[in-house]
Amino acid sequence: MIKALYPGSFDPLTNGHLDVIKRASAIFDELEVVIMNNPNKAFTFSVEERIAMIKSIITKFPNVTVSAQSGLTVDYAQRVGASVLVRGIRAVMDYEYELQQATANMILNPAIETVFLLTHPQWSFLSSSVVKQVALNKGDLTGFIPPEIKDVILAKYKL
């Protein structure tokens, strides 16, 4: 049985994130979406709001759970018996950052593997920042986010 973690900030979750969840849940026996606390980032949505949004989306994936954690991802992975970290790659810029992170994680805990899933081309432009900019400027979020969380995002921006 292989347990994988999909760590990130998910502020908010996008259709690109959902695509990674769907694909990773088909590969691994268990997948835990992990909202990692990053003190260097300012967040639009609280941890509780992000957990609620993700929970509303993952109901269709029986082997997927969500949690919020802090500290080193590899330490948490070891504590919960996860042997794989899943990361999505959109472009070369993502690869460079993710390669740095994966290499550091390999040094910290060589037993934890990092698996990169390439983003489908239709989501290669999509990020949480893009979603927030579209919402802030009263744009149409259709195609950017799962419909289950549209009302939550719109309410945050009072649209």
Look up 128 and say whether it is catalytic: yes
CA–CA distance, 22 with 120 (Å, rounded to integer):
12
Q: What angle do CA 136, 137, 138 make, to 5 degrees?
A: 95
Active-site pick, 3, 22, 41, 120: 41
Residue with tokens 């649209």: 159
Q: Is 52 within 8 Å of 20 (Cβ atoms)?
A: no
Active-site pick, 9, 46, 128, 132: 128
**DSSP annotation of 140:** -
Look up 41 and say whether it is catalytic: yes
Look up 67 and say whether it is catalytic: no
Look up 158 and say whether it is catalytic: no
Cα separations in angstroms, 19 against 40, 78, 93, 126, 146: 26, 25, 19, 12, 10
Active-site pick, 55, 90, 124, 132: 90
Active-site pick, 17, 25, 50, 87: 17
Residues designated as active site: 17, 41, 90, 128
